[in-house]
Amino acid sequence: MTRIIVADDHTLVRAGLQRILAGSENLEVVGEAANGAQAMALLEQTPCDVLLLDLSMPGRSGIDLIVQIKASFPRLAILVLTMHGEEQYAVRALKAGAAGYMTKECAPAELVLAVRKVVAGGVYLSLAMAERIASELATSTVDTPGYRRLSDREFDVFLMLARGLTVSDIGDNLCVSAKTVSTYKARVMQKLDLRSQTELVHYAIKHNLLRDEL
């Protein structure tokens, strides 16, 4: 029996995932968490084989959380299930230690397939995401784009700003102060040599980082 913990801050999403997985042979949801802190506490108390993880829960950055979890539970397979379809998120998640990455638009059958693959020691990416990553690698130049040099938290803030969220909105999403977000914003602007919010949005569009919003 494959034991699964679902970590997502939306109750309806957790309930839907529970139904999908419970209807599949040899898969059992043994716990649910609504944020990173709950996920860590649950993992310490409840043995499991796969963590189904949303990247956008309140609190600690999803990428940071993956690093923390893998440090404490190196044998745990982490399968990211998220709204973020940008390949840069997928690359960062895999580098941090995730065994798979898929968006919430996936079909139930694909989710079950992904869980079975990562628990067997494999890596799972949807075909569309794999093609995006391969295309980016094939077309990349020797010069590394500036956005790849952003830290994981800076990249989070950068994309939220590009989507039109205010500093206060971002602070609420990440459970940090507006002052902290402003510091990250200043670092992003400096690293990318941008002078205004408009330039930041244009930069994100130019590098196809908002393709799911267009």
All structural domains of the chain: 2-135 (3.40.50.2300), 146-213 (1.10.10.10)
Interatomic CA distance for residues 95 and 203, integer angstroms:
24
Which single residue is written with the structure tokens 């794999």?
130
Instruction: Kindly provide the b/e burial profile for residues 29-66, where b requires at least 16 CB atoms within 10 angstroms of the residue's own CB.
Output: bebbbbbbebbbebbeeeebbbbbbbbbbebbbbbbbb
For 163, residues 6+ apart whose C-beta sits below 8 A from its C-beta are: 210, 213
Cα 86 from Cα 101, distance rounded (Å)? 11
Q: What is the pLDDT of residue 213?
A: 45
The structure's pTM equals 0.74
Q: Is the Cα torsion angle 38, 40, 96, 133 positive or negative in sign?
A: negative
DSSP 61: -
Blockwise average pLDDT, block size 10, the chain, 214 residues = 95 93 92 93 95 85 87 95 81 91 90 95 88 69 73 89 92 87 93 92 87 49
